[in-house]
Structure 1
Amino acid sequence: MSLAPRAVIVHRTTEYEELVARHGTHGQAAFVLTSRGRDIEEVAERHRRTRRALAEVAAAVPLTWRQARVERADLDRFLFAAEDVVVVVGQDGLVANVAKYLAGQPVVGVDTDPGRNPGVLVRHRAPDTAALLPAALAPGAGSGTEELTMVEAVADDTQRLVALNEIYLGAPGHQTARYRLGLDGDGGAVEAQASSGVLVGTGTGATGWLRSVWQERGADLRLPGRTEERLLWFVREAWPSPATGTSLIAGELTADGRLRITVESERLIAFGDGMETDSLELTWGQSVRVGVCGERLRLVG
């Protein structure tokens, strides 16, 4: 007997909940914000909107389905199943946070704060959930989903990291990163570098950090589309010296291209989509290859 579908509702702790947890009570949190010229009511109202959206989404799950709820901090310990439909309730970034843990499950993004969030990945409202959940698993549902390109980093010790927006490789604590950088199949061209790190991003990431670097550089590179099997990479603040160069500082990777980085620092890390707590640990002499990921994020609608 096959299992009934399961709706997995992903959310994150609200700013209001974090404030109350830090200061103990609503009143104390309000006092602290007031002393800083802020009004807690603005934060509390966003919290109430989020809670209303979560309740509405949970109530929309069909009675014959199973249901689970997971907070962002627990994603790395949650086991997603093949029959899941993932409902992300929150901001665009929360979709990116969950993407790395999935294996083709459809994702419905629900915006809890329309007008405040860009809505690039959380494209729906809570009242839409009742219709979207069955449709996500219906025959032919693929025509209503967008398969977004992801980026992966694979180390020589088999550590692997996947991200929806971008992967950043650099030194913890924002110190200088030292490494050798080259492109697979590029005639063996390799350059020793000292920089603030390397950023490799997708078309989805082109609405965030990748775009900011691209605009600053004025690079003669076209930003990739969200479903395009193409990535852009940039070296941040490369430093020229007798031992390090700056000739390989930007480029693109197609589906079969890989950027190879060999560590020449005591310790470097690679993390995706801003989640530094879930990173690859790399030590002197290790190599990591970064390129287009074989898996896609299936975003509904």
Structure 2
Amino acid sequence: MSLAPRAVLVHRRTEYEELLARHGTHGQAAFFLAARGRSADEVRERHERTRQALAAVSGAVPLTWRQTRVERADLDRFLFGPEDVVVVVGQDGLVANTAKYLAGQPVVGIDADPGRNPGVLVRHRPADARRLLPYAAGAAVAADELTMVAAATDDGQRLLALNEIYVGPPGHQTARYTLDDTEGGAEPEPQASSGVLAGTGTGATGWLRSLWQQRSSGLALPAPAEPRLAWFVREAWPSPTTGTSRVEGLVGPGQGLRLTVESDRLVAFGDGVESDTLDLTWGQTVRLTVADTRLRLVT
């Protein structure tokens, strides 16, 4: 007998909840915000909209299902099951934060505050949850299979991201490494830079696009479901021992971009989450590739 589906509601603490945790009372939080020209009422109203959205989605879960909630800060300690339907209630970025912990489970993105979010990944409203959840658990569910990016080190560490992975210094120092795009046929190049960014078509609407626009790149950025990555070197520095001839490119299926570390410490993290990093030391290598895992975003 198979288990009934489990709805996993992913959410994050609102700004209002974080203010209360820091200042203790609504009055103290309001005083803090007023001193900075902001209104506590507006922050509290957004908090209430988010709580109402979460309650509406929770109430829409079929009675025969199991359900649980997980806060963003606890995602790295939560065990997702193969029968889960993952419902992200919040912002687009929360879907990206969740994707790295999944293994093909369907994801329903619910926009908790329409009008403030682009809605690229949280495509649905709370009122849609009642019909979407049974649909997401069915065999005929339609979902966008969004490409993800993977980083793998030579000692077995691994990291996944939906938007992009950054490899570079943890602070404002210079990253030194040798860049090797072996599948491209060019010779490895020692470089000194502010780091390397490799991202997907989903990430091509954010940080990746800003680099692409900044340098007026002629690369054709990938689409979200396309199994390709675009990569850029940030602020490469020319010197007698470091080059700048290879500062952007594309990675397709079966290909990879390899960096050999020549600094005391570099880090790799995905989707802007610096608390979940790979630590890289001198002589270590990290390879950036199209991930085997994809995000199944219910349409």
* CA–CA separation in structure 2 for the residues paired with 1:99 and 1:125: 20
Partner-residue secondary structure (3-state), 1:172: coil
Structure 1 runs of 4+ aligned residues shifted over 4 Å read none
- Give the counterpart of 1:155 among 149, 153, 166: 153
* CA–CA separation in structure 1 for the residues paired with 2:175 and 2:139: 49
Partner-residue secondary structure (3-state), 1:95: helix
Letter in 2 for 1:211: R
Tell me which residue corresponds to 2:119.
119
1:105 and 2:105 correspond: yes
Identity, in percent, stands at 70
Partner-residue secondary structure (3-state), 1:116: coil
The TM-score normalised by the length of structure 2 is: 0.99
- Give the counterpart of 2:289 among 278, 288, 291: 291
Contact 2:176–2:193 under 8 Å retained in 1 = yes
* CA–CA separation in structure 1 for the residues paired with 2:186 and 2:154: 18
* CA–CA separation in structure 2 for the residues paired with 1:139 and 1:267: 46
Tell me which residue corresponds to 1:54.
54
Tell me which residue corresponds to 1:28.
28
Alignment size in residue pairs = 299
Letter in 1 for 2:18: E
Tell me which residue corresponds to 2:136.
136
- Cα drift, residue 262 of structure 1: 0.3
* CA–CA separation in structure 2 for the residues paired with 1:151 and 1:82: 21
* CA–CA separation in structure 1 for the residues paired with 2:258 and 2:266: 14
Contact 2:182–2:188 under 8 Å retained in 1 = no
Partner-residue secondary structure (3-state), 2:171: helix
* CA–CA separation in structure 2 for the residues paired with 1:121 and 1:185: 32
Structure 1: 5+ residue runs without aligned partners? none
* CA–CA separation in structure 2 for the residues paired with 1:104 and 1:126: 23
* CA–CA separation in structure 2 for the residues paired with 1:162 and 1:185: 21
Alignment of 1:196-235 (within 5 A): 196-235=194-233
Letter in 2 for 1:83: E
- Cα drift, residue 177 of structure 1: 0.7
The TM-score normalised by the length of structure 1 is: 0.98
* CA–CA separation in structure 2 for the residues paired with 1:186 and 1:252: 9
Partner-residue secondary structure (3-state), 2:44: helix
Deviation track 1:269-300 (CA, whole Å, cap 9, x = no partner) reads 10000111111111100001101011110000
Structure 2: 5+ residue runs without aligned partners? none
* CA–CA separation in structure 1 for the residues paired with 2:30 and 2:198: 41
1:251 and 2:249 correspond: yes
